[in-house]
Amino acid sequence: MLLAVDIGNTNIVVAVFDKDKIVHQWRIATDTKRTGDEYTSIILTLSREAHVDLHKVSQSILSSVVPALIGPFVVVTQNLCGKKPVVIKPELYNKLPLTLPATAVHEIGTDLLCNAVEAWNRFKCANIVVDFGTALSFITTDSKGHIQGVAIAPGLGTAVNSLFSGTAQLPQVPLQAPENALGTNTIHSIQAGIVLGYKGLVESLIQRIKSDLFIASGDKPEDVKVIATGGLNSVLKPITDVFTCVDKELTLCGLKTIAEYVC
Q: How far is CA 261 from CA 5, 20, 119, 195, in A?
A: 17, 14, 15, 38
CA atoms within 13 A on the CB side of 135: 13
Considering only the C-alpha atoms of the chain, give the largest distance between any 2 of them, rounded to a whole number of Å.
Answer: 58
248: left (phi over 0), alpha (psi -120 to 50) or beta: alpha
The answer to whether residues 254 and 261 touch, using CB atoms and an 8 Å cutoff, is no
Report the C-alpha gap between 162 and 212 in whole angstroms. Answer: 31
> In 10 A of CB 240, how many CB atoms?
15
The answer to whether residues 143 and 18 touch, using CB atoms and an 8 Å cutoff, is no
* DSSP β-bridge partners for residue 203: none
The answer to whether residues 74 and 84 touch, using CB atoms and an 8 Å cutoff, is yes
Positions annotated as catalytic residues are 111
Residues shown for the chain: 263
Report the C-alpha gap between 194 and 238 in whole angstroms. Answer: 15
